[in-house]
Amino acid sequence: MRSEREYVAGLYERLDAERARVKGEYDAALRGNGGTPMERDDEVRALTREVRRLDAVDNGLCFGRLDSTGGERSYIGRVGLFDQDNDYEPVLLDWRAPASRPFYTATAANPEGMRRRRQFHTRGRRVVEFTDEVLGRPGGAERGDAALLAAVNAPRGEGMRDIVATIQAEQDEIIRLDHPGVLVIEGGPGTGKTVVALHRVAYLLYTQRERMERHGVLVVGPNPAFLNHIGRVLPSLGESDVVFTTTGGLVPGLLVTAEDAPDAARLKGSLKVLDVLAAAVADRQRLPEEPLPVELGGVTLRIDAETAAWARDEARASGQPHNEARAVFADIVTYVLTERAMSRITRGWLSRDDRDEWERLRAGLLKELAQDEKFTAALDELWPVLTPQGLLAELYSSPERLRAAGADHVLFRAEGDAWTVSDVPLLDELVDLLGRDKSDDAAAERERKAQTEYAADVLGMLVGRQDSMDDEDHLFAEDLLYAEDLAERVLERDTRELVERAAADRDWTYRHVVVDEAQELSEMDWRVLMRRCPGRSFTVVGDLVQRRSPAGATSWAAVLEPYVPGRWVYRSLTVNYRTPAEIMAVAGALLADFAPGVQPPDSVRACGVRPWSRQVTDEGLAAAVAEFVREEAGREGTSVVIGPPDVPGAVPASETKGLEFDAVLVVEPERILADGPRGAAELYVALTRATQRLGVLHRGPLPRALTGLVEVGAQRPL
């Protein structure tokens, strides 16, 4: 024990020295010693990431040791550390390095050249205990499960913990899988799907850092509570260039405030809604019911239906998005009006042979038309500049527009801009259908050009000053550096961190995307995500049995084949590390009732506490819930009450997806089960959140599918 403590203490000394070195380089970069502003910014960002990475790995820096049959020892930890005085020999192997893999995969039957696996248990920076597993000797007093069981039996904290010290062989195979396309990880409750996916991200960032870190990784989860729960895992592994969001956050700045009825959610999630959106855009490309008058060159002209139809056909045929095609529409209408005006104005005194005069007249008419507010108003009426939110809000709140777009009446709502999560993929689709307002782009380009010219003038003045100086005069280097800095600032170089820039930019593309609870995503949701990752590198995590959304996936092939035909692979996790056998027996009976043929995951442990049920009266329900909350508050760990929305203190099962608690109280399972066609899946989720204790309160008869519960009276088991 003493030698191990000394070795680990030495690793911490090396970690501290490496931190001091990187911090010194970081401070020097901030002082701006050498290089251009852009180069210094890149260096500061890189060093910032390195400082964070080294700070994050302090807890549990080294968690194991491998002894080979040849006598070599390798220590395994969160990062790699090297002996700079001894040819950079590794003194600590990064858990993601190929040489570390036997720590997770070697078994008694297949030791992979290893003799012993040692797992450290630490408190702070000090080793307090270790357990050994002798490999290659079945029955040789092995203790390989000790660390795993200690981890799964430990009380839960506020967030998900990494499993870097206890990754199991089936999990390690998935984490290190070399597949460039889409990987689907499916498994029942407690199988570690999410944490495996996050460790896979850390592995990919380690093995493909140069390719991935400039664009980052996107992690999509079902709700903010879930994202908060998993948010510490990757930082604890030294990785921070990751954006966490829900599907509702995929359109930056959108505030989701409402929830759709099932029929509306189903329609919005279907690809059929693409026809509705296209028709809604086309409906805004209108022909005048009566000719629209325009004064030009002293004559009155009219934009008639025939002219507008020609312009509309040409604009649509251009293949450009609506707002960008407006320029084509305007060009055709402008051409017709100027030709008509010139024919009337020049009648009897000017022929087309006098080209110079003819073109001067045309230029004057074009300038007049461009400044004519009535002409601009006519264009706005016939081919308006549209925004995704404006178009969709007006569509939802107008029965007439819904009919014109061929949309079902279930999409109608009085408050058109009361956005739901199902609206997000539609708004994102409209960004591409509508495009940008070219006038805004032109103004931005003019501003950028002016800023560039200003910066060039500053540099030019300083260079001119240098050329005109006498020998005794000096142009200090600081002057040129100032000008260079000024040019960078004038051009407004974005200095935000990658995560900030990516989260705020709808057009940002990622090198890899993780989708958790993926069975809940609709066809339209997948279109959004595929736009975000043109390389189609995904880790997809889910369990089709737990699907609640009416627009969610019914098979992985149906979701993925349209985008990555033949480029996706499927892996399953079969061991339940969260839910003890006593609780899983209850959940398994429910699963057999609503999804016969689906095999529940095997629990790795029993907890020794039977789950219980208790029937209460209407008046006694609140007191029974309060009793549970009061008792659990005095225990170590976490707890939750899951039930219908009118139960005081309860949360719906959908908000607990992916989460885990030491103790769970499920209230009125009969009502959860009766809540729509996916009620059974909701109840299954509720029953499988507990790691130690499960209780059930019911007012009506207990559902037939709930078996294995110990019915108790007023006093329930502790």
Tokens linked to 334 = 């402008």
Nearest-5° Cα angle at 77, 71 to 80: 90
pLDDT of residue 456: 61
CA distances from 351 to 152, 340, 358, 359, 661 (A): 92, 14, 8, 11, 87
Distance (Å, whole) CA 618 – CA 626: 14
pLDDT tens digits along 210-268: 888 889 999 999 999 999 999 989 988 888 889 999 999 999 999 998 889 999 999 99
Distance (Å, whole) CA 491 – CA 549: 46
Nearest to 509 by CA among 495, 521, 496, 498: 498
Are the C-beta atoms of residues 234 and 198 closer than 8 Å to each other?
A: yes
pLDDT of residue 438: 60
Nearest to 439 by CA among 334, 327, 284, 286: 327
pLDDT beyond 90 at 653: yes
Q: What residue type is assigned to position 175 of the chain?
A: I
pLDDT of residue 476: 47
Q: What is the mean pLDDT of the chain?
A: 88
698: which DSSP letter? Answer: E
Nearest to 499 by CA among 146, 203, 253, 245: 245
Residue 438 annotated in ligand binding: no
Are the C-beta atoms of residues 486 and 175 closer than 8 Å to each other?
A: no
Distance (Å, whole) CA 278 – CA 113: 62
Tokens linked to 300 = 């009155």
pLDDT of residue 115: 93
CA distances from 38 to 27, 430, 479, 491 (A): 17, 35, 17, 12
For 112-132, what is the mean pLDDT? 91
Task: Give per-residue burial for 192-201: e unless 16+ CB within 10 Å, then b.
Answer: bbbbbbbbbb
* 3-state secondary structure (DSSP) of residue 87: coil
Are the C-beta atoms of residues 512 and 226 closer than 8 Å to each other?
A: no
pLDDT tens digits along 542-590: 999 999 899 999 999 999 999 999 999 999 999 999 999 999 999 999 9
* 3-state secondary structure (DSSP) of residue 561: coil
**Strands, sheet with 661-667, edge to edge from the N-terminal-most edge strand:** 639-642, 661-667, 690-698, 612-615, 710-711
pLDDT category at 87 given cuts 50, 70, 90 is: confident
Distance (Å, whole) CA 4 – CA 489: 53
Are the C-beta atoms of residues 373 and 411 closer than 8 Å to each other?
A: no
Residue 190 annotated in ligand binding: yes
| Domains defined along the chain, listed by start | 1-142 (no CATH), 182-250+506-575 (3.40.50.300), 264-433 (no CATH), 436-465+474-505 (no CATH), 581-711 (3.40.50.300)
Q: Kind and range of the H or E element at 513?
A: strand 512-515
For 114-138, what is the mean pLDDT? 87
Distance (Å, whole) CA 254 – CA 252: 6
pLDDT of residue 408: 95
pLDDT of residue 108: 81
Residue at token pair 């993929």: 425
Residue 188 annotated in ligand binding: yes
Nearest to 77 by CA among 122, 24, 44: 122
Residue 262 annotated in ligand binding: no
pLDDT tens digits along 235-251: 888 888 899 999 999 99
Are the C-beta atoms of residues 396 and 277 closer than 8 Å to each other?
A: no
pLDDT of residue 713: 75
Distance (Å, whole) CA 133 – CA 103: 11
Residue 187 annotated in ligand binding: yes
The larger pLDDT score, comparing residue 407 to residue 53, is at 407
Nearest to 568 by CA among 559, 578, 576: 559
Distance (Å, whole) CA 656 – CA 662: 13
pLDDT of residue 143: 44
* 3-state secondary structure (DSSP) of residue 57: coil
* 3-state secondary structure (DSSP) of residue 44: helix
Distance (Å, whole) CA 552 – CA 477: 62
pLDDT of residue 40: 75
Q: Kind and range of the H or E element at 185?
A: strand 182-187
For 99-107, what is the mean pLDDT? 92
